[in-house]
Chain A
Amino acid sequence: MGELVGLVRLGADLVSAMDLPAAAAAPERGPWPLLRRWLVRMGITGRWAVILPPALWLTVFLLIPVLVVFKISFSEAVVARPPYLPLLTFGEDGEVQLTLHLSNYMFLGQDTLYIAAYLNSIKIAFISTILALLVGYPIAYFIARSSDRWRNILLMLIILPFWSSFLLRVYAWIGFLKNNGVINNALQAVGLPQVTMLYTDFGVYVGIVYTYLPFMILPLYTTLVKLDDALLEASADLGARPFRTFLSVTLPLSLPGIIAGSMLVFIPAIGEYVIPTLLGSPSTLMIGRVLWDEFFANRDWPLAASVAIAMLVVVVVPLMLMQNAQNAVVERK
């Protein structure tokens, strides 16, 4: 429809341009010079050949899909193909009726399951981020302080697991955490009692920290490696103990790395589906899992759509704004 309007307007422009004497006097004939002039007048030049392909692709496969989700979140679930009712219905005498169902959103607010899932996702992502920071910081510090030769090897060892399959790395932990798995077998061999670790929140934390640890370590490493030894020596010369030096010199200077690494762990953790499904208990509520079940198990597309919209508003938009603000700061520097 939009394209059609554009073509009609283009046609009208061509006709009116042909009426102009200047256009008639142009040496080139045919519609192409006119089209070019029209394009230039609209501010469309050669560089639009660069801008338009990615812009159109993102409009069709990113912007419009989100709008479709928004639309369907106001629909009502039915047993049909596709399993939702259209918003616009046409009456027999040509009247158009628009029906917006707010029931999905009201259901989200009323049923404590969804609010609990949102809060729990934020909690799990937050604790995992803190844990990843506590595990990742000493590793990043150690790599940054090693000799040049070791540094590259150690960095490669950090990145290497990232290139192998994410799913299989999570799977590896099932064999480790199981009741008769590697850790419990080892505990029993030295006479300690068995600990249930798989299908608990603990399993989810281990899985998230393990999967996203490289994303925490790499930004930390880049800030720590730039740390000037002279500052640490100065602090020591002025009588500060190593811990004091760490608190008042190293930590503040590595703050950009801490923020970047924490964002890179927190963002994927919050919408995580695979890790809570494979390592968590059935009662580990995370919003990604709720959306998945609503869609695949209950086949309630409108409700799944409203869960997605709520997630976008509560989680994604604030994160994008934060990222934008961060980019602005970086570009100003």
Chain B
Amino acid sequence: MKRGPLIPIIATLGFVFLYAPIISLIVFSFNESKLVTVWGGFSTKWYGELFADPQVLNAGLLSLRVAAVSASIALVLGTLCGVALTRFRRFRGKTLLAGLVSAPLVMPDVITGLSLLLLFVAMESLIGWPAGRSELTIVLAHSTFCMSYVTVVVRSRLADLDLSLEEAAQDLGATPARVFFDITLPIIAPALVSGWLLSFTLSLDDLVIASFVSGPGSSTLPMVIFSKIKLGVSPDVNALASVIIGIVALGVVIATILQLRRPRTARA
């Protein structure tokens, strides 16, 4: 079919739209001048300043810890929920469970954050746990909304899965738990990896929910960045952004290489 030049031109502009801000962000992180958008010569001093800032480093470590723990809790709960919703034919409250688990996907962050904070305040005055707002409350909040995403990923993988393998194992006398751990789990492992990574990223990215449920001593990295941005554009935020984008790009490149290599070794 004949193709006009219109669509490639619009698509190219679309990619420019996607990448121009990110590239300019990286370029100006090497700017000597404190004015972010006026070039004043090459310098790496903002990187030096960034790594000397204990607030940023502590917040970064806290965010990584929270993201790793929340993603792991969300992985376990989300997988169980996905299995229950796809593999169990009927049980009491199935519709309610399906509705509850999909609610965080459509619920605005401000509502999730507010409702969890009000819960934690009420729980503290009733049973004294969790005492105050801290890393723990952020983990509880993040696990809750991340498990919804894991459930979606696991559900769609399980729905595509051929049932005959699981049925064969069952016919050979394996208990349901044995079938799950020996057959289902290895097959859906890639979905579990992407569910965990998605949760990790979402937790690392969250500003709104963490702002509601965190305490005085537990500011996450997005919270620190947000308060810096509200004071105005500053070059050390550019440097931080470049570091994060660099890590992400590296991770994606490694993942792509691994993915491209896997099918070949599997076939060999």
B106→A164 contact, CB < 8 A: no
B114→A165 contact, CB < 8 A: no
Which candidate, B7-15, B44-52, B161-169, is the interface stretch facing chain A? Answer: B7-15
14 A-B residue pairings within 8 Å (CB atoms): A61-B140, A62-B104, A69-B114, A142-B8, A145-B3, A160-B248, A165-B244, A166-B205, A174-B233, A175-B28, A176-B21, A181-B37, A291-B110, A316-B106
Interface Cβ pair total, 8 Å cutoff: 242
**Interface size bucket, B side?**
35 or more
Chain A residues at the B interface, C-beta cutoff of 8 Å: 43, 46-47, 50-51, 53-55, 57-66, 68-69, 72, 82, 135-136, 138-139, 141-143, 145, 156-158, 160-161, 163-169, 171-176, 178, 180-182, 185, 210, 213, 229, 232-233, 236, 242, 267-268, 270-274, 278, 288, 291-292, 295-296, 301, 304-305, 308, 311-312, 315-316, 319-320, 323-324
A274→B118 contact, CB < 8 A: no
B28→A47 contact, CB < 8 A: no
A172→B22 contact, CB < 8 A: yes
B233→A178 contact, CB < 8 A: yes
Residues of B close to A181: CB separation below 8 A: 37
Decide if the interface of chain A is mainly helix, strand, loop or mixed: helix
A176→B78 contact, CB < 8 A: no
Chain B residues at the A interface, C-beta cutoff of 8 Å: 1-4, 6-8, 10-11, 14-15, 17-22, 24-25, 28, 35-38, 76-78, 80-81, 83-84, 88, 91-93, 97, 99-111, 114-116, 118-119, 121-122, 125, 140-141, 143-144, 147, 151, 176-177, 201, 204-205, 207-208, 211-212, 222, 225-226, 229-230, 233, 237-238, 240-241, 244-245, 248-249, 251-252, 256
Residues of A close to B147: CB separation below 8 A: 54, 57-58
- A279 → chain B closest CB, angstroms: 11
- B192 → chain A closest CB, angstroms: 15
B14, B20, B21, B144: the one contacting A62 at CB < 8 Å is B144
Q: How far is the CA of A271 from the CA of B109 in the complex (A)?
A: 7
B249→A160 contact, CB < 8 A: yes
